Amino acid sequence: MDLEPYRGELVAYCYRMLGSYHEAEDLVQETMLRAWKARDRYDRTRASVRTWLYRIATNVCLTALEGRTRRPLPSGLGAPSQDPGAPLTPALDIPWLQPFPDTRFDLEVRADMRLALVAAMQVLPPRQRAVLVLREVLEFTAAEVAEQLGTTSAAVNSALQRARAALAEAGGAVEEVVEPEDAGARAVIQRYVRAFEAADVPALVRLLTQDAVLEMPPVPLWYRGSRDYGRFMDRVFAMRGTGWATTPLTANGQPALAAYAPESDGSHRLHTLQVFTVTAGRVAHNVVFADPRVFEAFGLPGRISSEDFRGFGEFGEFRRER
C-alpha cells in the first residue's frame, strides 16, 4: 500500500485544521504511521484509501486540538494601534498562525489556503472546522464525512450550516481566492518591491487601499489605514536604513516576499517574510512574519551577499548567481 502520494494534501488539510505548518507535518507523519500499522485491517469495500487516510488524519487532528487555544493573527485579538512608535515586544506565549510554504507542494493542494480564511477557520470548534474543510474544500460527501467523524449525515449537514454562519460572521469565505500568478497582482507587488527596496514610503502608501492592514506576528500590535501603515514604515526605514533586498515567494496561494535588511558590510540579513492580499489593484493586507521557524519552513537563507542577490525574479524562486 503506497501512502506517499497523499502526503501533500494531508499536510495541507492538517495545516487548515491546526494553523501551523510544522505541526501539520508532524501530524501527517503520525497519520502515516497509524495507517501503516493498520494496513491489514483496511477494507477497500467500505472506503477508498484516500477517504480512509482522511479519517485517520481527522482523528489525529482532533486529538491534537483538545484543550488548545486557536492560532490567531494580531488583528484577531484587539483594536489596531495608532502609535507608530509603540514597542515591538513579541508575545511569545501566543501560538501564532503560521504561513504555508507553497513551493513544497502541488498547486492543487493550495486551494482555499489564504491566511485570512485559515485565520477565520480558527474561530470554529474543531469538529465544525473539520466538517467545513472536508465538505467545502475537499468535497467529500456528507456520508463520507459522517463515516470519518463517526456521526450521521444529518449531523454533518447541521455542523456545516453552523460553520458557514460562524465563518461569515468572522469575515471568512471559501471562495474568491486571489492567485499570485494573476498579472495585476504581480504588477502591484513588483511596484511595491521597488518602493520597499528604495525605502520610498510615499510610493508604498500610493499602492495601499485606504483601509490597508499591517500586522507582524509575534508582535501583537497591528495597524489599519494607509496613513498609519506609512508612518510605521517610516519608523522601520529610520531604524534599519535603506537599500533593502527582497526575493519573491508565494505563501498560502498569495504573493509574498522575503525582506533582507542592509548590513554594514554590504550584505543583507533576513528580516521578515511578508504575505500580501491584493484587492482591486492595491495592497489590502500585509502579514509580516519574523519567526525563525517560519523562515526555516520556507528554506530562506539567513544572509545574502551583494554577489548572491540578482533582484526580483519569478514568484517562488530565490535568484542567485551560479
pLDDT tens per residue across span 197-221: 999 999 999 999 999 999 999 999 9
Among the listed ranges 7-16, 109-118, 132-141, 205-214, which one has the minimum average pLDDT value? 109-118
In a domain, 85, yes or no: yes
Claim to verify: residue 162 and residue 192 sit in the same structural domain: no
Claim to verify: residue 159 and residue 193 sit in the same structural domain: no
Percent of the chain with pLDDT over 70: 90
Mean pLDDT across the chain, nearest whole number? Answer: 89
Check residue 254 and give its pLDDT. Answer: 92
Residue 148 pLDDT > 70 = yes
Domain count, the chain: 2
Strands (E), the chain: 208-216, 219-224, 245-251, 254-262, 268-279, 282-289, 303-304
Q: Write phi, then psi, for 232 (nearest 5 degrees).
A: -70, -40
Q: What is the mean pLDDT of residues 122-138?
A: 93
Check residue 181 and give its pLDDT. Answer: 64
In a domain, 175, yes or no: no
Claim to verify: residue 152 and residue 221 sit in the same structural domain: no
In a domain, 315, yes or no: no
Which pTM does this prediction carry?
Answer: 0.89
Claim to verify: residue 140 and residue 41 sit in the same structural domain: yes
d(CA 93, CA 78): 16
d(CA 91, CA 287): 16
More confident residue, 173 or 304: 304
In a domain, 236, yes or no: yes
Q: Where are the alpha helices (DSSP H) in 38-141?
A: 49-65, 115-121, 126-132
Length of the chain: 322
What's the CATH number where 234 sits? 3.10.450.50
Q: What is the mean pLDDT of residues 2-16?
A: 93
Claim to verify: residue 33 and residue 117 sit in the same structural domain: yes
Check residue 2 and give its pLDDT. Answer: 85
All three cell numbers of 233: 514604515
Q: What is the mean pLDDT of residues 134-158?
A: 94
Claim to verify: residue 196 and residue 270 sit in the same structural domain: yes
Check residue 312 and give its pLDDT. Answer: 41
In a domain, 117, yes or no: yes
In a domain, 150, yes or no: yes
Claim to verify: residue 135 and residue 19 sit in the same structural domain: yes
User: What totals of helices (H) and strands (E) does the chain contain, helices first?
Assistant: 11, 7
Residue 92 pLDDT > 60 = yes
Residue 18 pLDDT > 50 = yes
Check residue 179 and give its pLDDT. Answer: 55
In a domain, 312, yes or no: no
Q: Write phi, then psi, for 297 (nearest 5 degrees).
A: -60, -30
In a domain, 309, yes or no: no
Check residue 320 and give its pLDDT. Answer: 37
Claim to verify: residue 162 and residue 198 sit in the same structural domain: no
Claim to verify: residue 165 and residue 193 sit in the same structural domain: no
Claim to verify: residue 205 and residue 124 sit in the same structural domain: no
Claim to verify: residue 83 and residue 194 sit in the same structural domain: no
Nearest Cα to 189, choosing from 176, 202, 174, 208?
208
Check residue 308 and give its pLDDT. Answer: 64
Claim to verify: residue 94 and residue 57 sit in the same structural domain: yes
Check residue 314 and give its pLDDT. Answer: 47
DSSP at 273: E
- Per-residue confidence band for 104, with pLDDT thresholds at 50, 70 and 90: confident
Residue 233 pLDDT > 70 = yes
- Per-residue confidence band for 127, with pLDDT thresholds at 50, 70 and 90: very high
Percent of the chain with pLDDT over 90: 74
- Per-residue confidence band for 59, with pLDDT thresholds at 50, 70 and 90: very high
Check residue 174 and give its pLDDT. Answer: 54
The domain in which residue 284 lies consists of 183-304
What's the CATH number where 39 sits? 1.20.140
Residue 156 pLDDT > 90 = yes
Q: What is the mean pLDDT of residues 254-281?
A: 94
- Per-residue confidence band for 180, with pLDDT thresholds at 50, 70 and 90: low
Q: Integer distance in angstroms from the first to the last C-alpha of the chain? A: 41
More confident residue, 299 or 307: 299
Among the listed ranges 52-56, 109-113, 139-143, 189-193, which one has the minimum average pLDDT value? 109-113
Residue 107 pLDDT > 70 = no
